[in-house]
Amino acid sequence: MKRKETFLRLIQFLKPYWTILALSLVFAAGSVALTLYAPILVGDAIDMIVGPGQVSFSSISPLLIQLAIVVAATALLQWAMALCNNRLVCNISSQLRQQSFSHLHQLPVGSLDQLPTGDAISRITADIDQISDGLLLGFSQLFTGVATILTTLGFMLSLHKGIALVVVILTPLSFFVAGFIAKYSFRYFQQQAKVRGQMTTLVEELVGNQKVVQAFCYQKQAESRFEQLNRSMQQCGMKAVFFSSLTNPCTRFVNGVVYAAVGIVGAFVALSGGISVGGLSCFLSYANQYTKPFNEISGVVTELQNALASAARVFDLMDSPAQEPDSPKAMELKNPTGQVALEHVFFSYTPEKPLLQNLNLSVEPGQHIAIVGPTGCGKTTLINLLMRFYEPTSGSITLSGEDIRHFTRDSLRAGWGMVLQDTWLSSGTIHENIAYGVPNASREQVIEAAKAAFAHSFIMRLPQGYDTPIGENGATLSAGQRQLLCIARVMLQRPSMLILDEATSSIDTRTEWKVQQAFDALMEGRTSFVVAHRLSTIQNADMILVMKDGIILEKGNHQQLLEREGFYWRLYSSQFAHQE
């Protein structure tokens, strides 16, 4: 996204807060006006000093009182302006975060699979913080700076047009400096933001899997990858800081040139009687105040480049194509019978590599379907299609005789209970994790579900039982305990249909036998799809689908498939031949 487009889009977020913005502008204009009125009072006071011992104190005293009032009022207006700016920036940052996070939930699973977790975190946190800092500095100094420049120029023109013309002629120098710095600093701040996202991704990946890193002695390689990214970030950062650091000396040089020119020209005008000494003092003060905002604005422009670079990354995330919304005519799935059918279903993650090819399947209500096959044959992909995490490339999937695309996604997924091999738990208590899908469940219902999943005994051994807090993804629990909690979560939900994807892979054999009994009771009368590698767990299935290379190679129950002595028979023999 280009810088201009990013800036205009960021400005759109100001619309809901135009009243706060208007108040900030009023307070900024008021503080600038009072700030510029002070030199007039000082100049008038200087003109009261006629000579040694000839000072009109009676005339100076009212001026000093006015000056004190002006300074106090200026401080009050600046405080009010800062209050408005802080509220404005906090509201915009909050809105950006909310919209970015909400959009993440609207992205299709395929897009999320390609978006590094750390990079998404960096955009929603670090990048929006950069936007907040840039906007706050911009509102705090840009408004007052522009107002100061315009108002000061008006005051100088009213005092002496000739000297003011000198200031106007030298002004383009400041714009040239600001434009030069903005051009180069934006480029390097953009690179810095990109590398920062990559670094966040790497750190999140390595810290979250530190046991694997140490188990495979990968520390040196990890440090090397981090060092490479850190060096890139250092180089981008140094270049960005170098160009942004040019702001202060360059603008101060321009300020000095303007001040010197005003002093020299003003001195000649004063000698010719064109302006009083007090007026020249006031003019020099205005010249200093006129050039000072250019220094601040140049700094603001540099900081805004950083903010715009970060905003471009945030908007890229927000512009990622969302999943196709539910049809306006989409129905709510209520009381599904469990009749599932696949007709000529094709699917591939990438066009050049087809996966599922011409799948046809008819499942009657209450049937237990087991899916087996070698790794990568499409077992989990078939589950993803049933849940509408992905859409078929062609063909159709029907539920209770209706295409699943005619149902809302939420109601369709609510009809399925899903236990995956990869467990996921949120930060919270044991009770909150079991009740994740049924937040209003009572303690008795949660305990009943935990007992059904054979998790109750280990939960009661925890320090606070069901109120025991667990860390991110249940880091304080074993893999088997995490999986039991995920199973209890589905036991509590009691869905109309079930999907079990290696649901007991991390559980010991004795507990697996008990949980299998619980699953059998839960699956009674419910259509169930079970993905399994251990064939001992699916021998009682009504139908076993044997998949290979994206096609259903064989279909039947356990005994029928053994009698055929085909691919399933070879899989079974490889697992149980040594026992026989």
Share of the chain residues as helix, strand and coil, in percent rounded to the nearest 5: 65, 10, 25
Q: What is the pLDDT of residues 517-569, one digit of tens each?
A: 777 777 788 888 988 877 777 888 889 998 888 888 888 888 888 888 888 88
pLDDT band at residue 388, thresholds of 50, 70 and 90? confident
- The answer to the question of residue 483 being in a domain is no
The predicted structure's pLDDT at residue 202: 80
Inter-residue contact 547 to 371 (CB < 8 Å): yes
Strand pairing category for 543-548 and 368-372: parallel
Q: What is the arithmetic mean of pLDDT over 457-477?
A: 84
- The answer to the question of residue 381 being in a domain is yes
- The answer to the question of residue 50 being in a domain is no
The predicted structure's pLDDT at residue 119: 79
* CA atoms of 15 and 309, how far apart (whole Å): 22
Residue environment code for 193-224, b if the CB has 16+ CB neighbours within 10 A, otherwise e: bbbbbbbbbbbbebeeeeeebeeeebeeebee
| pLDDT at 332 exceeding the cut of 60 | yes
Q: Are residues 289 and 334 in the same domain?
A: no
CB atoms near residue 451 (< 10 Å): 15
Average pLDDT, the chain: 80
- The answer to the question of residue 130 being in a domain is yes
Q: Are residues 255 and 399 in the same domain?
A: no
The predicted structure's pLDDT at residue 52: 57
Which is higher by pLDDT, 508 or 438? 438
pLDDT band at residue 351, thresholds of 50, 70 and 90? confident
| pLDDT at 185 exceeding the cut of 80 | no
- The answer to the question of residue 22 being in a domain is no
Q: What is the arithmetic mean of pLDDT over 391-404?
A: 89
CB atoms near residue 422 (< 10 Å): 12
**Residues with Cβ within 8 Å of residue 244, at least 6 apart in sequence:** 181, 185, 299, 302, 303, 305
User: Domain span at residue 256?
Assistant: 93-318
Q: What percent of the chain has pLDDT over 70?
A: 89
**Residues with Cβ within 8 Å of residue 539, at least 6 apart in sequence:** 558
Residue environment code for 385-400, b if the CB has 16+ CB neighbours within 10 A, otherwise e: bbbbbbbbeebebbbb
Q: Is the dihedral of CA 557, 558, 563, 566 positive or negative?
A: positive
The predicted structure's pLDDT at residue 109: 77
CATH of the domain at 378: 3.40.50.300
Q: What is the arithmetic mean of pLDDT over 178-182?
A: 67
**Residues with Cβ within 8 Å of residue 278, at least 6 apart in sequence:** 43, 44, 45, 46, 47
Query: In the chain, how many domains are there?
Result: 2
- Count, in order, helices (H) and strands (E) of the chain: 22, 14
Q: Helical H runs in 365-452?
A: 379-386, 409-414, 430-434, 443-452
419: helix, strand or coil: strand
The predicted structure's pLDDT at residue 1: 55
Q: What is the arithmetic mean of pLDDT over 256-265?
A: 79
- The answer to the question of residue 238 being in a domain is yes
The predicted structure's pLDDT at residue 447: 92
Q: What is the arithmetic mean of pLDDT over 195-223?
A: 75
Which range, of 73-77, 360-364, 512-516, averages the lowest pLDDT?
512-516
Quick one: 332 exposed, middle or buried, by C-beta within 10 A (0-12, 13-18, 19+)? Answer: exposed
Considering 272, 296, 318, which residue would you say is the last residue of a domain? 318
- The answer to the question of residue 228 being in a domain is yes
The predicted structure's pLDDT at residue 47: 67
Q: Are residues 353 and 411 in the same domain?
A: yes
pLDDT band at residue 481, thresholds of 50, 70 and 90? confident
The predicted structure's pLDDT at residue 443: 92
**CA 350 → CA 2, 316, 347, 355, 375, distances in Å?**
30, 23, 9, 9, 18
Residues comprising the chain, all counted:
580
250-255: Cβ within 8 A, 24+ apart: 250/177, 250/181, 250/298, 251/174, 251/177, 251/178, 251/291, 251/294, 251/295, 251/298, 252/295, 254/170, 254/173, 254/174, 254/177, 254/291, 254/294, 255/288, 255/291, 255/292, 255/294, 255/295
Q: What is the arithmetic mean of pLDDT over 371-400?
A: 87
Q: What is the arithmetic mean of pLDDT over 459-464?
A: 89
* Amino acid at residue number 336: P
The predicted structure's pLDDT at residue 564: 86
CB atoms near residue 65 (< 10 Å): 11
Considering 262, 293, 318, which residue would you say is the last residue of a domain? 318
Q: What is the side-by-side order of every strand in the sheet holding 368-372?
A: 416-419, 497-501, 527-531, 368-372, 543-548, 551-556
pLDDT band at residue 580, thresholds of 50, 70 and 90? very low
Both tokens of 320, joined, read 């990622």
Q: Are residues 231 and 175 in the same domain?
A: yes
Q: What is the arithmetic mean of pLDDT over 291-298?
A: 69
Q: Are residues 207 and 183 in the same domain?
A: yes
Q: Are residues 281 and 361 in the same domain?
A: no
pLDDT band at residue 286, thresholds of 50, 70 and 90? confident
Q: Are residues 165 and 209 in the same domain?
A: yes
Both tokens of 6, joined, read 């990013």
- The answer to the question of residue 307 being in a domain is yes
Q: Are residues 249 and 350 in the same domain?
A: no
Inter-residue contact 144 to 292 (CB < 8 Å): no
CB atoms near residue 456 (< 10 Å): 19
* Amino acid at residue number 344: H
Q: Are residues 275 and 358 in the same domain?
A: no
The predicted structure's pLDDT at residue 505: 65
Q: What is the pLDDT of residues 105-126, one digit of tens each?
A: 788 877 777 777 777 888 888 8
Best-predicted range by mean pLDDT (52-61, 177-186, 255-264):
255-264
Both tokens of 118, joined, read 């750390």
Q: Are residues 306 and 377 in the same domain?
A: no
* Amino acid at residue number 271: L
Considering 285, 318, 351, which residue would you say is the last residue of a domain? 318
* Amino acid at residue number 569: W
* 368 bridge partner residues: 528
* Amino acid at residue number 68: A
Say how many CA atoms lie within 13 Å of 313 toward its Cβ: 30
pLDDT band at residue 216, thresholds of 50, 70 and 90? low
| pLDDT at 468 exceeding the cut of 70 | yes
Q: Are residues 292 and 178 in the same domain?
A: yes
| pLDDT at 577 exceeding the cut of 60 | no
Residue environment code for 548-572, b if the CB has 16+ CB neighbours within 10 A, otherwise e: bebebebbbebeebeeeeebbeebb
Q: Is the dihedral of CA 22, 27, 32, 33 positive or negative?
A: positive
| pLDDT at 357 exceeding the cut of 50 | yes
CATH of the domain at 125: 1.20.1560.10
Inter-residue contact 515 to 545 (CB < 8 Å): no
Q: Are residues 348 and 282 in the same domain?
A: no
